[in-house]
Chains A and B, each alone.
Chain A
Amino acid sequence: MTAYLLKRLAISLATLVLASIVVFAVLEILPGDPARLMLGMNASADQVELLRNQMGLNAPLLLRYLNWAGGLVSLDFGRSYTYSVPVMDLVRERLAVSLPLALIALALSTIIAIPVGLFSASRRGRAGDTISMGAAQLGVAVPNFWFALMLIYVFAVWLRLVPAGGFPGWSAGIWPALKSLLLPAVALALPQAAILARVTRSALIEVLNEDYIRTARAKGLPYRTVLWRHALRNAMIPVLTILGLQFAFLLAGTIIIENVFYLPGLGRLVFQAITQRDVIVVESVVMLLVAAVIAVNLVVDLSYAVVDPRLRSRQ
C-alpha cells in the first residue's frame, strides 16, 4: 500500500512540473499584449513599453518562468496584471463560490443518479427502465444554458422564490448565499446526474450478470440486499471515476452557467483573464486546476482501494 501511494505521488509531481512548462509555453505563444490592452487605442508605443517594464513583461523568458514556478512552490502566485491584487486573493474569492457550487451540484447529481441507476438496472428492459433512461437521455441532450434560463424564468421571474442571478457573498448570510447557488446547482447537476445514472445502470447490469450474484440469490438472500450490498458496491468503481471527472469539470468548466447566473466563479475568472491577457492569472489558475484534478484522481484511486479490498492487498 505504501509503495502504491509513493508511486502515485511521484507520478503526480512529475505531471505538475510538466504541466507548468506546457502552460507557461502555450501562454507565451498566445498573441496579444496585456499592456496595450490596458492602455487602449490612444496610448503611444512608448507608454505601452513603459507599462510593459513596470509589469515585468520585458524580463528574459527563462527568468520569468523560474520566478513564476518558484513562486508556485511557496504558494506565492504573483499579482494579477489587470486587477493588481495577489492572484491567491482572487482565487480564494472565486473558490468561495465555485467550491460550494461544485459540491452542492455533485451531491445533487449523486442523490438523483444512484437511485435512478439502481431502479433502472433492476427493471432492465421494462417500462420503468425505458422511461428513466429516456429522461436521462433528455437530460444529457438539453443545452444547460437553456435549461438554466427556463429555471430562472420559472423560479425567479414568475415565482420570485430565488434571485435571477448574482451572488451576495457569504457575508450576507448563509441562507441568501445558498439561495443564490440553488438554481445554478440544479442546472449543473441535472446533465451530470443523467450521465451518472446511465453509468451506474450499465455498471450494475454488468455486475448483476456475475456468478456471485446468482450464488447470493441462490443461498436465499433477498433481492434488495443483493442489489444494495453486493451489486452496488462492486459497481462503484466506474461510478467513482466519473464522479472524480465531474468534480474537476464542475470546479472550473462551468463558465456558461456562471455567465447565465452572473456568478463570480473560477470559470469566469479564467475566461476573463484569457481575454484580457492577464497571463499570470491564467497560468496560476490552470496550475491550481491541474493540481486539483491530480488530487481528485489520487483520492479516487485511493477510494478504489476502499471499496475493493482486493486492490489493497495487491502491493
Chain B
Amino acid sequence: MKLWKTLLAAAVLAVATATSAFAARTDLVIGIPLEPPHLDPTAGAAAAIREVTYANVFEGLTRIGPNGEVLPDLAESWTISDDGKVYTFKLHSGVKFHDGADFSADDVKFSLDRARAENSINAQKQLFAAIDKVDVVDPATVKVTLTHPQGSFLYNMGWGDAVMVSPKSADTNKEKPVGTGPFKFDSWAKGSSITLLKSDHYWGAPVFLEKVEFRIVPDAAAAVPALLSGDIQAFPFFDPDSVSQVKDDPRFKVVVGATEGETILSINNKQPPFDKLQVRQAISYALDRKAIIDGASAGLGLPIGSHMSPANKYYVDLTGRYPHDVAKAKELLKEAGLENGFKATLKLPPPSYARLGGEIIASELRDVGINLEIIPVEWAQWLDQVFTKKDYDLTIVSHTEPNDIDIYARKDYYFNYANPAFNKVIADLELTSDEAKRKELYAQAQKILADDAVVGFLYELPKVGVWDAKLQGLWESAPIPANDLTKVKWSD
C-alpha cells in the first residue's frame, strides 16, 4: 500500500514536471547597448527610451508597424474631413492605464495639449505643430483640428513622442512610466537592467511573455559571451563587426534589416570651397560606397543616393547619380579652380560607422587631392560645435529619425543649405494627403538633393539583430526605434 502511494506520488510529480517543461518559456532577457536616461518618451530624444517603452509600455492614437506602416492603436478608427483639416478619432473602450485609471478622450486632449504647449520640452515638438485645437466630443471620441491639411499627421501620431499619458502620472513617467500598453513597468536597477511585467488588464490581444528584462550591455565584446552562456537571449541591435562570431551557430538567428538611419558625409554648404556645386559633386564622385560599407559596417547596409531609406515606400534609387569616378572628380575640381587640391577638416563623432568610415573617406578624398584632417569629437562636442555652432567643414553622422528629408528645408540647419525649389516641394508635401502626389513630391525632393550634392550620401544604417533561434516575433527592421514585444514568443 505504501509502495503504491509512493509510486503514485512519483507519477504525479513526473507528469507535472513534464508539462511544465513543455509549456513555452514566458521570460526574456534582451540586451541593449545604451541605458535610457529616463523612461518618458515625451521628454527626451534618446532612442533607448523608445527601445524599452514603445508599444510595450506606452501606446499612441496610431502606431508604426514593423514595416513602417501606420496602424490603429488606441484609436480604433478615424474619419478625416473633406478639407483634410479635421480628424475625428474613435477610441477603444475599456482601456486602462497601469495604475488603474481609465483612459478616455480627456487623456488624449491632455497628452496632445501637453506636448504642444509653449513650455513643452517634447523632443519632437514639430510633430504637433499643425494642431490648432483638440476637442473632446464624448469619452470615446476626440476631434483634432489642424491649421492646414497635413499628409503625415497619422504617421506623426504614431511616433514614440506622441504617446498617450495620464494627467495623474505624466510628471513621474521618467522614473515610473505608466501607460496603457501590454507591459507595465516593474523595476529599474540603474546601470544594470529594466524589468517589465505583463499587465493584468490589457485591452488588446494578450501578449505571450510574462516578464521581460532589458539588460544594459555597453561593450560589444561582452555581448557575444552573454549570448553564448544563455544569460541574454536577444540583442536586437548588435554590433555588425561581431556578427561573424555567432553567424554559423545554429542556436542563434542573425537578422539583418533596415533602419531609417541615413548615414551621410555632411557638408557645410556655406563654407568655401564647399559652397561650389562642383566641389560637392566632386566629393560625391570620389566616394566609393561599397568600400565604405565594407570597412565601416562589415559589408552590411545598402548604399543610398539621396536622403531616403531603401526600405521606405517613397524611396527612389539615385545611387547611379554619382558613380565612383576619380577622373570625373578631378575634372570637376579643376573646373572649380582647385586642380591643386585643398585642405579641410573632418569631424567624427564616436560611433564606429563614423570613426571607421571617416578613415576610408579621408583616403578616398586624398586620391582626388582633398587632404582631410581628422578630428575625433565626443557627442556632446559634436552637438555643440558641429550641430549648433556649425563650426565644421565635413562630418559623418547617421540621421536616424524616420522620413526626415524635410531637415534640408529647415532654416539654419547645420548643412547651411537653402534651395527655394526644395523648400517649395517640402511645403507642398506638408499640405498634400493624396498618396500618388506625395510619392511624386518625395521623388522630386530626393532628386533635388542628389543634383545639388548637398551632402555625400553613403549608406543606410543596417539593423543587425541576433537572438535565440527559438524566439519569434521580434522586428527585423527598425522603421522607428523600438523593441515591440507584443508578438514575441518562444516556439516549442
**Interface Cβ pair total, 8 Å cutoff:** 146
Interface residue B217 (Cβ < 8 Å from any Cβ of A): yes
CA–CA, A260 to B446, complex, Å? 43
Min CB distance A87 to B, Å, is 12
Min CB distance A7 to B, Å, is 39
Contact (Cβ within 8 A) B380 A38: no
Contact (Cβ within 8 A) B380 A277: yes
Contact (Cβ within 8 A) B225 A37: no
| B-side interface residues, number (CB < 8 Å) | 43
Min CB distance A27 to B, Å, is 11
Contact (Cβ within 8 A) A269 B191: yes
With a CB–CB cut-off of 8 A, which chain B residues contact A237?
none
Contact (Cβ within 8 A) A166 B193: yes
Contact (Cβ within 8 A) A156 B225: yes
Interface residue A82 (Cβ < 8 Å from any Cβ of B): yes
Interface residue A4 (Cβ < 8 Å from any Cβ of B): no
Contact (Cβ within 8 A) A36 B231: no
Interface-located stretch among A145-153, A209-217, A228-236 = A145-153
- Residues in A267-290 with C-beta less than 8 Å from chain B: 268-269, 272, 275-277
* CB 8 Å contact bits of B170-204 with A (1 = contact, 0 = none): 00001100000000000001111100000000000
CA–CA, A166 to B222, complex, Å? 10
Closest to B174 in A: A84
Interface residue B342 (Cβ < 8 Å from any Cβ of A): no
With a CB–CB cut-off of 8 A, which chain B residues contact A85?
175
With a CB–CB cut-off of 8 A, which chain A residues contact B314?
none
Contact (Cβ within 8 A) B218 A82: no
- Residues in A42-100 with C-beta less than 8 Å from chain B: 42-45, 47, 50-51, 54, 82-85, 90, 93-94
Contact (Cβ within 8 A) A41 B45: yes
Contact (Cβ within 8 A) B190 A90: yes
CA–CA, A262 to B174, complex, Å? 23
CA–CA, A42 to B125, complex, Å? 8
Contact (Cβ within 8 A) B125 A262: no
Contact (Cβ within 8 A) B229 A93: no
Contact (Cβ within 8 A) A47 B217: no
With a CB–CB cut-off of 8 A, which chain B residues contact A169?
189, 192
Q: A40-B123, A43-B125, A275-B379 are in contact. Are A164 and B225 (CB under 8 A)?
A: yes
Contact (Cβ within 8 A) B222 A260: yes
With a CB–CB cut-off of 8 A, which chain B residues contact A33?
380, 383-384, 388
Interface residue B126 (Cβ < 8 Å from any Cβ of A): yes
- Residues in B222-236 with C-beta less than 8 Å from chain A: 222, 225-226, 228-229, 231
With a CB–CB cut-off of 8 A, which chain A residues contact B383?
32-33, 36-37, 41
- Residues in A147-185 with C-beta less than 8 Å from chain B: 149, 152-153, 156-157, 160, 163-167, 169
For the complex of A and B, list the 3 residue pairs with the smallest distance between their C-beta atoms, beginning with the closest: A40-B45, A32-B380, A264-B191
Residues in A lying within 8 Å of B, measured CB to CB: 30-34, 36-45, 47, 50-51, 54, 82-85, 90, 93-94, 145, 149, 152-153, 156-157, 160, 163-167, 169, 259-265, 268-269, 272, 275-277
Residues in B lying within 8 Å of A, measured CB to CB: 35, 37-38, 44-46, 119-121, 123-126, 174-175, 189-193, 215-219, 221-222, 225-226, 228-229, 231, 378-381, 383-385, 387-388, 399, 401
Q: A43-B125, A163-B231, A272-B35 are in contact. List 19 more A-B contacts (CB 8 A).
A: A32-B383, A37-B383, A43-B121, A43-B123, A43-B124, A47-B120, A50-B119, A83-B37, A83-B38, A83-B190, A93-B189, A149-B221, A156-B225, A165-B225, A259-B218, A262-B215, A262-B217, A275-B378, A276-B380
Can you identify 10 A-B contacts, CB atoms within 8 angstroms? A33-B388, A36-B387, A39-B44, A40-B44, A145-B221, A164-B225, A165-B222, A169-B189, A260-B219, A276-B37
